Amino acid sequence: MVLRKFVDALPIPSVIKPCGTHKGKPFYKVQMLEALHQFHRDLPETRVWGYNGMVPGPTFEVEQNHPIYVKWENKLPLKQFLPLDTTIHGAHDTPEVRTVVHLHGSPSEPDSDGFPEAWFTRDFRQTGPDFVKETYYYTNSERAAGLWYHDHALGITRLNVYAGLAGLYFIRDKHEQSLPLPKGKYEVPLVVQDKSFNPDGSLFYPKQPDNPSPDLPCPSIVPAFLGDTITVNGKVWPFLKVEPRKYRFRLLNASNTRTYRFKLSNNHSFYLIGTDGGLLARPIKVTSLDVSPAERMDIVVDFSELEGQKIILQDAFETGNPVGEIMEFKVTKPLSRPDRSKVPPFLSHLPKIPLDQVRKIRRITLNDSEDEFGRLMLLFDDKTWMDPPTETPLLNSVEIWELVNQTPGIHPIHIHLVNFRVIGRFTANGTLLPPLPADFGLKDTVLINGGETVRLIMKFQPYSGKYVWHCHRLEHEDHDMMRPLIVLPDKDHKDDPQDPHNH
């Protein structure tokens, strides 16, 4: 079926409200439900799994330093409706349908972080081995930023997120609210995901590689998934009518695998004003942005000189490919009032992480391997999820991680608990590369191109305990490109001179 583009209006996810209080704090209840969702006017309704039955899930709007409690209730069926490979980590001898929620970008306590083995089933009937609970506590202590929440269950994250389990979470602070940036209806979230559909409208997800071996399990995990349609806020190739004025767009790449190069079809420039961890120090004028899975970009587009025009948000990586068009802006709405919004030359003070406080430098490779079936596995230092922890920083310590991508593909690397700064990109022979625009901001996910080495600096705070770090290409994460991150209390930490990561 060939779907027409730009015939459905862009929906805006609803904002969730607390349903009461718990321990004196606002209390939210979110149910994970199977539901029917119409992705396109010409598609039948599609079975999805959504938070409160919605795709994307409802948006949280919270204030800095105003903690909340969220009860995440699994009300999903007991059977998975997408191809389930039971040979990969976490999916062997466990229930088919398990969930645990990770608030991505939040410095949460370990038992509220969404540890992959802290899963639970429908109505909490069965649980995993770690930190298992339904009600999570979020301090909201970080600066204003656009976070997102999504499923993180070990071995099936790719399926649960693809089925629809993802939503936005905005933290606001007084400084951000004081800036003359576009606000209210002129601040628009854009959750971008690629999907494929069967002729009956159901979600398609591949079962096995293109050239299957009789020795491979079936269904078998694939190393990548690229859908043939693009959805924004749950609609395939939607349009948005805008006024000839400035708009602020909160972009999230929530795709399983696909990295986008976002640009406008008329090559119109726009401003990058924020990244994963909130506002930049100063705006950066760009004509395109590379955004890998899980990265968020905060941009301002000025349509004031484009009245009457239609502009397409494109993926420049896919120029000439029908998938390369994402959504359309129709500058056809009359100006409702004068546009007094601005992009100020100074946006925020970015906290610095002093180099003289670095306690340790770790050099970690991203490398190709094979599993027992001869399937491609992407690993860190040739270690699997079950190997003993090697990343064990001390609470409140500063470390530099040098991530060496020895593979040809892009890897978006996400480190739980912390925001980090990118301090350098290098070729395989050590030549310094120019930074990406997003490298100037606070990050929790970094795009690492094939053959590239990226250096990050971070401070491990405010909690000690068990966390994880992983590639956010979900097929890689589910197939062992994820490692424990154990933040040690100061009194328990002893440097091991034999540790190969000590320098």
**Rounded CA gap, 311 and 375, in Å?**
42
Asked if residue 450 lies in contact with residue 378, where contact means CB atoms within 8 angstroms, the answer is: no
**Rounded CA gap, 272 and 295, in Å?**
13
The answer to whether the predicted template modeling score (pTM) of the entire model surpasses 0.85 is yes
- Core vs surface per residue 124-143: b (16+ CB within 10 A) or e: eeebbeebbebebbbbbebb
Residue 496 has pLDDT above 50, yes or no: no
**Rounded CA gap, 411 and 378, in Å?**
10
Residue 135 has pLDDT above 50, yes or no: yes
Q: Look at residue 400 in the predicted model and tell me its pLDDT.
A: 98
Mean pLDDT of 17-31: 98
Q: How many CA atoms lie within 13 A of 392 on its CB side?
A: 14
At which residue do the structure tokens 């006024």 appear? 243
**Rounded CA gap, 130 and 119, in Å?**
8
Averaged pLDDT score across all residues of the chain = 95
Residue 212 has pLDDT above 70, yes or no: no
* H or E stretch covering 190: strand 187-195
3-state SS, residue 491: helix
Residue 494 has pLDDT above 70, yes or no: no
Q: Per mean pLDDT, which range of 6-20, 87-101, 308-322, 358-372 is the poorest?
A: 308-322
**Rounded CA gap, 268 and 280, in Å?**
21
* Among 379, 426, 418, 384, CA closest to 402: 426
Domains of the chain: 20-172 (2.60.40.420), 184-330 (2.60.40.420), 355-490 (2.60.40.420)
Q: Look at residue 211 in the predicted model and tell me its pLDDT.
A: 63
Asked if residue 59 lies in contact with residue 13, where contact means CB atoms within 8 angstroms, the answer is: yes
Which has the higher per-residue pLDDT, 502 or 347? 347
Q: How confident is the model over 415-455, as pLDDT tens digits?
A: 999 999 999 999 999 999 999 999 999 999 999 999 999 99
Q: Look at residue 502 in the predicted model and tell me its pLDDT.
A: 37
Q: How confident is the model over 73-85, as pLDDT tens digits?
A: 999 999 999 999 9
Residue 479 has pLDDT above 50, yes or no: yes
40 beta partners: none
What is the strand order of the sheet 145-151 is part of?
Answer: 60-63, 166-172, 145-151, 101-104
- Torsions phi, psi for 490 (to 5 deg): -55, -45
DSSP for 130-189 reads: SS--SEEEE---SPSEEEEEEE--TTTHHHHHHHT-EEEEEEE-HHHHHS----GGGEEE
Task: Give percent of the chain above pLDDT 70.
Answer: 96
Q: Look at residue 215 in the predicted model and tell me its pLDDT.
A: 78
**Rounded CA gap, 304 and 15, in Å?**
28
**Rounded CA gap, 268 and 264, in Å?**
6
Q: Look at residue 476 in the predicted model and tell me its pLDDT.
A: 98
Residue 140 has pLDDT above 70, yes or no: yes
DSSP for 99-121 reads: B-EEEET----GGGS--TT--B-
**Rounded CA gap, 68 and 148, in Å?**
15
Q: How confident is the model over 36-60, as pLDDT tens digits?
A: 999 999 999 999 999 999 999 999 9
Residue 498 has pLDDT above 90, yes or no: no
Mean pLDDT of 250-273: 97
Q: How many CA atoms lie within 13 A of 443 on its CB side?
A: 27
Secondary structure of 248-277 as H, E, C letters: EEEEEECCCCCCEEEEECCCCCEEEEEECC
Q: Look at residue 210 in the predicted model and tell me its pLDDT.
A: 65
Q: Per mean pLDDT, which range of 187-191, 218-222, 304-308 is the poorest?
A: 218-222
- Core vs surface per residue 463-492: b (16+ CB within 10 A) or e: bbbbbbbbbbbbbbbbbbbbbbbbbbeeee
Q: CA angle, corner 346, sides to 340 and 348, nearest 5?
A: 110
pLDDT band with cut points at 50, 70 and 90 for residue 391: very high
* Among 177, 210, 195, CA closest to 375: 210
- Torsions phi, psi for 181 (to 5 deg): -75, 160
